[in-house]
């Protein structure tokens, strides 16, 4: 018996094996993490950025009722608040369309979840159907919540949880995924895509999406710069790497200026009045009328009040978030930087940008977290490297100029337009739209809100000022 015991490994040997296994496992995990690349997050830093490289495929036959309803919606529905002759002519067909949606069974989306592109397509179709359904319907009386039928609410929530994205219309649904190739024999490029789904059917709406897409597309080069920086070896100790970073920061400033020019170009292709009165109402989410409004209830879904149900917003652009992460823009006022935040900055919603990430595809949100933790902060590197301070500040100031411009565009397209009235169609009253405007004014001329119910001016100024505080010269 003692001989057998003597042949068994000692407790110390077991302990040594356990430590060795743990160390090898930890090394493997770290190595695997280091090997991760942007493509693991559905990001292509070479050709398509956050866009898929091919248009999303249509859903299988089992989901054809969803696809057909989306195809039919533009011809059968109109904004309920629009009292023009063309809009009122669709009231009967609109109710028939909504009744059909209510009659559908709840279709299980599990079969789609093994295919990323089909899952994204399901989200796009269902989110568009929800907004079509809500905004073509009369508002509930007595400030009751609007009930979204379970036939579209339940599968939208299910597929959204799978994708890690909000169960509502988002920037991805309107811009990143909402296109087809003009020439199917040619690859994806910004000049070879056409936007498919339109609420208003206007060229202004198509151009609005295209302008957003052009900005995203120009940002792909920024993603390459970020990727190359994070892959530089020993950047602090290598003057060749430092010189490359300086050149890339200068290039980054030029790219940001290009994006500003793209944003500015919207004025020549999108009429502010058409945007505000014909398109923007379709975007509104559950909290568009403010935090105290009744909002929406998703039938068949528990804890609807916990869902993220704001509408699409430029604040959901993953490219712009990636730029903020790279330059270390502190939107949450966690760092002590100068100039000190104003009282208005302090009143703004500091969690807005972080909350907007919940409206991105989950893989893209994970990409932002990945680049935030991969290596040395470029701002920190620039703060202690004299050769980098000026080009770093140049890139930050270019971003500040972009946000100054965005404020002016938002003022023109939203704040100024909120004080106008809808176009009066010949021989047709616009009573309900006027009534909505008058009620808003009677309520005390409250702050103009974004489509997600946020106080627009405060948010934009806070974002601009947070960018200004990123400049090293003042810190």
Task: Tell me the C-alpha distance between 82 and 434, whole Å.
Answer: 10
Task: Establish whether the linkage from the previous residue to 109 is cis, with ω within 30° of 0.
Answer: no
Q: In a 10 Å sphere around its CB, with 0-12 CB exposed, 13-18 middle and 19+ buried, how is residue 202 labelled? A: middle
Distance CA 34, CA 17 (A): 26
Q: Dihedral of the CA atoms 332, 335, 337, 341 (nearest 10)? A: 30
The C-alpha angle 249, 267, 77, rounded to 5 degrees, equals 115
Instruction: State yes or no: 321 annotated in a binding site.
Output: no
**Measured CA distances, 440 to 349, 430, 434, 435, 448 (Å):** 22, 16, 10, 9, 10
List residues forming the annotated binding site.
Answer: 406
Binding-site residues for heme b, in ranges, read: 406
């Amino acid at each position: 018996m003692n001989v057998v015991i003597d042949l068994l490994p000692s407790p110390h040997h077991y302990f040594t094996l356990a430590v060795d296994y743990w160390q090898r496992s930890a090394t493997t995990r770290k190595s695997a993490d280091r090997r991760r690349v942007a493509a693991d997050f559905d990001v292509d830093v070479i050709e398509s950025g956050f866009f898929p490289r091919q248009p999303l495929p249509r859903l299988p036959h089992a989901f054809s009722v969803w696809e057909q309803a989306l195809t039919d919606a533009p011809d059968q529905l109109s904004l309920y608040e629009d009292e023009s002759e063309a809009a009122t002519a669709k009231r009967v067909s609109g109710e028939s369309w909504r009744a059909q949606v209510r009659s559908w069974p709840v279709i299980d989306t599990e079969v789609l979840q093994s295919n990323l592109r089909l899952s994204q397509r399901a989200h796009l179709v269902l989110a568009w159907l929800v907004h079509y359904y809500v905004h073509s319907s009369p508002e509930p009386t007595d400030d009751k919540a609007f009930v979204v039928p379970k036939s579209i609410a339940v599968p939208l929530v299910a597929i959204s949880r799978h994708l890690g994205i909000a169960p509502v219309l988002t920037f991805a649904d309107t811009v990143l995924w909402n296109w087809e190739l003009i020439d199917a024999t040619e690859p994806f490029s910004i000049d070879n895509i056409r936007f498919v789904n339109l609420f208003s059917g206007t060229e202004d709406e198509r151009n609005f999406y295209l302008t957003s897409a052009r900005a995203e597309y120009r940002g792909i080069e920024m993603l390459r710069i970020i990727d190359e920086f994070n892959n530089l070896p020993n950047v602090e100790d290598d003057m060749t790497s430092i010189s490359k970073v300086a050149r890339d920061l200068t290039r980054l400033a030029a790219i940001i200026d290009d994006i500003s020019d793209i944003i500015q170009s919207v004025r020549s292709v999108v009429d502010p009045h058409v945007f505000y009165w014909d398109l923007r109402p379709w975007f509104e989410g559950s909290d568009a009328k403010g935090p105290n409004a009744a909002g929406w209830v998703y039938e068949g879904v528990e804890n609807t009040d916990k869902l993220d149900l704001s509408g699409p917003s430029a604040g959901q652009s993953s490219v712009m978030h990636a730029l903020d992460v790279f330059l270390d823009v502190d939107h949450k006022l966690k760092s002590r930087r100068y100039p000190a935040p104003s009282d208005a900055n302090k009143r703004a919603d500091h969690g807005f940008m972080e909350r907007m990430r919940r409206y991105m595809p989950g893989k893209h949100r994970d990409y932002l977290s990945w680049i935030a933790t991969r290596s040395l902060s470029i701002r920190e590197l620039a703060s202690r490297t004299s050769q980098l301070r000026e080009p770093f500040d140049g890139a930050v100031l270019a971003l500040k100029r972009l946000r100054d411009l965005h404020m002016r565009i938002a003022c023109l397209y939203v704040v100024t337009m909120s004080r106008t009235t809808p176009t009066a169609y010949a021989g047709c009253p616009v009573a309900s739209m006027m009534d909505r405007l008058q009620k808003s004014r009677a309520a005390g001329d409250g702050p103009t809100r974004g489509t997600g119910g946020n106080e627009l001016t405060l948010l934009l100024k806070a974002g601009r000022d947070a960018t200004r505080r990123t400049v090293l010269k003042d810190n």
